[in-house]
Amino acid sequence: MAIEPSTTAPRKRLPLYARILLALGGLALLVVLGFVIWAKTPLSPAPDALAALESGGGVTVTRTSAGWEFAPEGDTTTGIVFYPGGRVDARSYAPLARLFAERGYLVVITPVTLNLAVMSPNVGDRAREAHPEIERWGIVGHSLGGAMAATHVAARPGEYEALVFLAAYPPDGTDLTQAVPIVASVYGDRDGGLKLEKVESTKVLLPPDSTFTEIPGANHAQWGSYGPQPGDLPATIDPAAQLKYAIDAIERTLGPAR
């Protein structure tokens, strides 16, 4: 029997440029996937932070579309928006938010996309829109959250009465001199994640009455409650002592709640 010749055409090999593009596309996909996995595995709240999310002791805690809300007893017309640090679970700031609420402020911790405030720089709008009864707003940001709070405020001059940086500074070119009446910058001398030279060089971007407080023994991570942070130094003061400086800063800039 005669064997019929094969009619199957030989497989054509992709041109070199096409193979390079496919390889680069695959690499880019892996990079993006790795970034998303990294961002979606943030530093998690410690047990005391989870406990602070429970209502009681004169503070009502509610999870809403705006974020984690900490409401004091009685009425208040003074609110605080809180921007979390980069790759930190927003719930980690519950102890500080509760302390603010105990002093009569409504506090909204704003969760951000992929746990990075740079992905959601204007989430403060959501908090303020949810509470039209609040007449005076301050904004507090930790680390990357502070930088993004600065860009948010700069684009909304006159809408916030105070900005507090916790181990943070404004991005280059973010002029706050006319956007907010006063800024307080608070940071520790044990902070392994803050560039002190940037705190100094960006002072010209802040209102003239802004204040700067370096806290002996304070580090980067203790503004939240999520355990040690890579690259940070151990604090030599306890968390409660460090958080008191944040309380003092908001009361000094925004004034007492009313």
Contact 167, 88 (CB under 8 A): no
Residue 47 makes CB contacts below 8 A (sequence gap 6+) with none
Task: Find the angle CA(235)-CA(236)-CA(237) to the nearest 5 degrees.
Answer: 95
- Beta bridge partners, 187, equal 214
The structural architecture, per CATH, of the domain 44-253 is 3-Layer(aba) Sandwich (3.40)
Nearest-CA neighbor of 255 among 136, 107, 84, 117? 136
CA atoms of 241 and 167, how far apart (whole Å): 16
Indicate yes or no: pTM above 0.75.
yes
pLDDT (0 to 100) of residue 143: 98
Burial 56-84 (b: 16+ CB within 10 A, else e): eeebebeeeebbbbbbbeeebebbbbbbb
Contact 172, 144 (CB under 8 A): no
pLDDT (0 to 100) of residue 37: 77
pLDDT tens column, 127-169: 999 999 999 999 999 999 999 999 999 999 999 999 999 999 9
- Any idea of the CA torsion for 44, 46, 51, 57, to the nearest 10 degrees? -110
pLDDT (0 to 100) of residue 10: 63
Q: Please, what sign has the CA dihedral across residues 62, 64, 68, 71?
A: negative
Q: What residue spans of the chain are helical by DSSP H?
A: 16-39, 47-52, 94-102, 124-129, 144-154, 196-201, 239-253
Mean pLDDT by 10 residues, the chain (258 residues): 58 80 76 70 97 98 98 97 98 98 98 96 97 98 98 98 98 98 98 97 97 98 97 97 98 96
CA atoms of 97 and 81, how far apart (whole Å): 10
